[in-house]
Amino acid sequence: MSAAEVQSRQEEPPSVHVSEGGATLAEIARAAGVSAPTVSKVLNGRADVAPATRSRVEELLRRHGYRRRRGGAQQSQLLDLVFHELESAWAMEVIRGVENVARQEGLSLVLSESAGRLTPGQTWVDAVLARRPAGVILVLSDLDSAQRTQLTSRDIPFVVVDPAGDPGDEVPSIGATNWHGGLAATRHLVELGHRRIGVIGGPSSMMCSRARIDGYRAALETAGVAFDPRLVRDGDFHHEAGYACGLELLRLPDPPTAVFTGNDLQALGLYQAARELGLRIPEDLSVVGFDDLPLARWVGPPLTTVRQPLTEMAEAAARLVLDFGRGRQPGVTRVELATSLVMRSSTAPPAR
């Protein structure tokens, strides 16, 4: 038997995942007019295949729903974690969670950044196909449908850790209860006696931000406080947005006595705006953040904030993706972990 035949035989048994009539590797090869080893090369992310051949094979793999037989090629002891960007202070919380699970499972963590793009590039996909990780965890990133097919056909499972709250329906993901977080933050302020409560959101394109603001609005309305669109600002999730939107809100003719910010970094920007205007926190202005990063405890005054369990979310995502890899298919593949209000010193009853 030639080496090519051996390789072909290793790949050929029908996939245990494929529906009746699913194509074998040999059938894919025949349809593409190439040899079985060539299909195998495409499956393994090898570079020595002509681009036109590669796309013809990929298209056939996709059309036939081909899935590699489990164990047909050895998985590495790697677990891939991909960030949209490593800038954010909460990235470390996520890394820690995935690293915890990786260590317990004897896996090593491969960390990538998709350089600010929401979809990782083809270079990344090729590298993943070549190294065959036990699973892929994406943070605020998503795969396009061709990439999903590529990973699925190689039996490489993936899960999204999703603080943004907007993965496609078919993508397994672990998020947080953003709406409830917005509700709890705003209820706390209402219960302290605040009626003019501002809110600074993240980008309006992010579902997590919409959910938080909807929770804010629900808390106001159930308490009989009118929703005032002038007290709502859209920013991004950086310090600067908290500062700029904070100045706008605090300079209104009838400014808010409390503000719920989209995240802790924005809250620090709002702290700065308040300082510049000579407003004391919490005496003149109450502030509630979101995330509960370590720095929320360290700032002055320590920040009341909604804890998003980022490390636990990352751990859950890592366990879910490894479960997929072991053939376990949990019934629910879209999970939101609970947020909780952490009370510190940045909130108090209004002075006026």
Instruction: Point out which residues bind a copy of itself (CB under 8 A).
Output: 76-78, 86, 89, 91-92, 95-96, 99, 103, 106, 108-113, 115, 123, 127, 130-131, 239, 265, 268-269, 271-272, 275, 294-295, 297-301
In terms of Cβ atoms closer than 10 Å to its own Cβ (0-12, 13-18, 19+), residue 126 is: middle
- Are the CB atoms for 147 and 82 separated by under 8 Å? no
Instruction: Report the b/e string of 171-203 with b at 16+ CB within 10 A.
Output: bbbbbbbbbbbbbbbbbbbbebebbbbbbbbbe
Residue 297 or 326: which CB sits closer to a copy of itself?
Answer: 297
**Closer by beta carbon to a copy of itself, 218 or else 279:** 279
C-beta of 9 vs 96, nearer to a copy of itself: 96
Q: How far is the CB of 128 from a copy of itself (least distance, A)?
A: 9
C-beta neighbour count of 1 within 10 angstroms:
7
- At closest approach, how far in Å is the CB of 246 from a copy of itself? 13
- Provide, rounded to whole angstroms, the least separation between the CB of residue 265 and a copy of itself: 7
Smallest CA-to-CA distance from 137 within 75, 81, 84, 78 is with 81
Q: Closer to a copy of itself by CB, 105 or 248: give it.
A: 105
Q: In angstroms, give the least distance from the CB of 72 to a copy of itself.
A: 21
**Residue 113 · residue 88 · CB < 8 Å:** no
Measured distance CA(200)–CA(7) in Å, rounded: 58
Residue with tokens 């009853």: 349
Shortest Å distance, C-beta 63 to a copy of itself: 30
Closer residue to a copy of itself in complex, CB, 102/220: 102
